[in-house]
Amino acid sequence: MRIEIFNRYRSIAALCICSFLVLTCPVTADAAKSGGREAEGEVTLRVCNWEEYIDLGDWDEEETIDLDSGDIIGENTMTEDFTQWYYETYGIRVKVEYSTFGTNEDLYNMLTLGDTYDLVCPSEYMIMKLMTEDQLVPLSEGFFDDSDQNNYYSNGVSPYIREIFEKNEIGGRPWADYAAGYMWGITGIVYNPGLVSEEDASSWKILNDPDYKRQVTIKDNVRDSYFAAVGAIKSELLNSEEFKNDPDYQKRLEEEMNDTSRETIAGAQEYLQDVKNNAYSFETDSGKADMVTGKVAANLQWSGDAVYTMDQADEDDFPLAFAVPSESTNIYFDGWVMLKNGIGEDAAKQHAAEAFINFNSRPDNVIRNMYYVGYTSVISGGEDMRIFEYADWCYGAEEDEEEVSEYDLGYFFSEGDEEAYVITAPSDQVYRQLFAQYPTQEAISRSSIMVCFDEDQTREINQMWINVRCCNIYDIPVWVWIFAGASVCVLAVFGIRKMRR
């Protein structure tokens, strides 16, 4: 009997192995096939980007962006257009396998689990993490060759962004060596001006302000919440004249905002616990809709989403506004990086990957992506004025507008202080979409990057977050224990009586 069972198990096991082999066979065959195709000159590029973060085409006729310099419309997806452009420009066929991820952490977990991509678009702190772990392929020298007119990135990236990418180093190498920016933004507060004053919205302290009890949402995200908490608990210092006038202001600000000392983490925990008891909720994706439907009065938001939220609300004639906290704001970047385990030594692939970045940096494509996604591109266009023209097209005042303000974007679009980059916008735009899309230099001056914390710091901050979000067993009220104990007793008595019978 036992032997029979054993035999049966053995045959099942054998069959399992066989079927496993059968299942894996097509995969290897497929790999061999694609290798064969590559030999014929077709390159496969595996791109992984945020969800809804690139133009997927199929616009309606009336969505055409009619700039003076010509119409722009997204007919095909950006990847289709890239494939065609690449063939026309370089005579090589490229196949783009496009996939998406939800959060930086998801992407990292996908990479750890063995998914291979050639080109990915994480945020700056994830880029820093990948750089530290030596997972990235540096951008080639050719990519930075300004004389090549197809190098749209190098020729078009905003001088302001270029400086940040060159200034920030990790392990002695600047970000710019490995990463090409895509979109950028800051964190701030979207608020309903009917209920919240601009002054209140301009501080991280609004999150636990009892005046707005259960009316403010915050992001369900450790990093954004931690940044806001640090800003709030250090509010006094950060707002002091002395601190703001420090010659080393920028450096000191970044140090303060990236402070992970015991006391700061403990302070942040206390603050966030307070926020949990005061705010409407920690939201993952509902914040935008709740803002538009008026469920909440203010909402911690990324500037790109803030633009989207305000656009949506405008459709219902429900004006919302955007404020950048006076303490500090978190400036963030999403950028393209090439992965070692995808690209490897494959020069053809790397060329295609860099061309993909360049194609997405071509001004008309930048406008398509910006229009479709709502975030702000790092590209200012260089000599090409179309991106500024687009900003003006979006936010510039009509001729019959009564109240207008001059809105200077020189810091983003030009290296010198040229007056060419001033938008004459309706006055309210200074607090609204235009402000979120292209914050003023004044707002940007108090922005701080949030670095990638090391393993110990990350662990402590995550623990802090769990402490905030979890129900502590010591906080469970006594009556709950008594009630639970009583119900268990009743059930036990009932059960025993039943068994006796």
Q: Give the binding site for other proteins (CB under 8 A).
A: 8, 12, 15-16, 19-20, 103, 105, 108-109, 112, 214-215, 220, 222, 276, 279-284, 286, 295, 458-459, 462, 465-467, 469-476, 480, 499
Residue 334 Cα distances to 145, 173, 375, 396, angstroms: 22, 18, 10, 27
Least distance CB 316 / other proteins (angstroms): 16
Q: Between 94 and 279, whose beta carbon lies closer to other proteins?
A: 279
Least distance CB 47 / other proteins (angstroms): 23
CB-based burial label for 406 (10 Å; 0-12, 13-18, 19+): exposed
Q: What is the DSSP letter of 490?
A: H
Least distance CB 339 / other proteins (angstroms): 18
Least distance CB 222 / other proteins (angstroms): 8
Q: Between 287 and 426, whose beta carbon lies closer to other proteins?
A: 287
- Give the H or E element holding residue 381: none
The rounded distance, in Å, linking the Cα atoms of 129 and 117 is 17
Residue 252 DSSP SS3:
helix
Considering only CA atoms, which of 358, 380, 392, 369 is closest in space to residue 59? 369
Least distance CB 455 / other proteins (angstroms): 9
124 is written with which tokens? 């700056």
Q: How far is CA 495 from the centre of its chain?
A: 55
Q: Between 112 and 245, whose beta carbon lies closer to other proteins?
A: 112
Q: Between 222 and 409, whose beta carbon lies closer to other proteins?
A: 222
Least distance CB 123 / other proteins (angstroms): 14
Q: Which residues contact 462 (CB under 8 A, 6 or more apart)?
A: 222
Least distance CB 488 / other proteins (angstroms): 11
Q: Between 47 and 127, whose beta carbon lies closer to other proteins?
A: 127
CB 276 within 8 A of CB 175: no
Q: What is the 3-state secondary structure (H, E, C) of 336-364?
A: EEEEHHHHCCCHHHHHHHHHHHHHHCCHH
